[in-house]
Amino acid sequence: MSVLDTFSLSGRTAVVTAGAGPLFGSSISEALAEAGARVVTASRSLARNREFAASLAERTGADVHGMQLDIGDAGSVERFHREAMERFGRVDVLVNSALVRDATAGGFETQGVDAWQRSAAGDMVGLYAICKAFIGSMVAAGGGSIINISSIYGVVGNDPSLYENTEMVQPPSYNFVKAGMINFTRYVANYYGKQGVRANCISPGGYYTGQAGPFVERYNKRVPMGRMMDNDDLKGAVVFLASDASAYVTGHNLMVDGGFTTI
């Protein structure tokens, strides 16, 4: 087998939470489909997932399915796991990219305790519930790969100067959840590695979505590579960690941030 063959995901089934999303999710789903996997996208909107799945299947020729999942509802997670196993028999790759975070929660001065609890508890409970559900199935099948999407703000603190003279704020619950995700990944890696389950994180940098000009300018000056992330920057990292190319990699947090955290 050549080294390029180890990146193939042919014959494997990959679940991507928020896999039809406009940020990382759609790029992740596209990358896995292009690598040959059967892809299952899952989030609250069944219609949106089915529409995206049909479009991705047409573009890539891959086997793509859209399903419904509310990551903030433990009952929904269990139903999704049961339905996925009934339909596909096994799941080899689980990518957790969904967030419950309330984007209007505000910064430290304005985010209330209730909003903090909804955001942090929802994200942590959802991550725990879906990992717990699928790890058992992966162990029974002989192994699998879990990839959790964290953030640079799970590793370093925010730089307030980037947000000056904009209406942008970063809810403190986001940092809390993303940092916890990284160490939870290490926990899973340590406990289930001998049973064939690998667990890794990816911590992306800032993703360009048309943010305010002053923010983009400051961010680009700060990051060594001189730009924000785009749609293709996460794809190679995801395929690497999902595939046999990373067969001896577990418990790792891969920074895909243009060097932001090296400064």
| pLDDT, tens digit (0-9, with 9 covering 90-100), for 44-66 | 999 999 999 999 999 999 999 99
Lowest mean pLDDT among 19-23, 32-36, 92-96, 209-213: 19-23
Q: Please tell me the predicted confidence (pLDDT) of residue 257.
A: 98
**Average pLDDT of the residues in 195-223:** 96
Q: 4-255 is classed in which CATH architecture?
A: 3-Layer(aba) Sandwich (3.40)
Is pLDDT above 80 for 105?
no
What contacts 194, CB < 8 A, 6 or more positions away?
A: none
174 is known as an active-site residue: yes
Q: Please tell me the predicted confidence (pLDDT) of residue 211.
A: 94
| pLDDT, tens digit (0-9, with 9 covering 90-100), for 134-159 | 999 999 999 999 999 999 999 999 89
Is pLDDT above 60 for 208?
yes
Rounded CA-CA distance 53/33 in Å is 10
Whole-number mean pLDDT of the chain?
Answer: 93
Rounded CA-CA distance 97/106 in Å is 21
Q: Please tell me the predicted confidence (pLDDT) of residue 103.
A: 47
Of 170, 185, 166, 56, nearest to 108 by C-alpha is 170
* Cα end-to-end distance, the chain, whole Å: 39
Is the Cβ–Cβ distance between 201 and 145 less than 8 Å?
no
- β-strands 38-43, 64-68: how paired? parallel
Work out the percent of the chain whose per-residue pLDDT is above 70: 98
Is pLDDT above 70 for 101?
no
Give me the amino acid identity at 207.
Y
Rounded CA-CA distance 257/233 in Å is 9
| pLDDT, tens digit (0-9, with 9 covering 90-100), for 175-191 | 889 999 999 999 999 99
Catalytic pick among 153, 174, 192, 219: 174
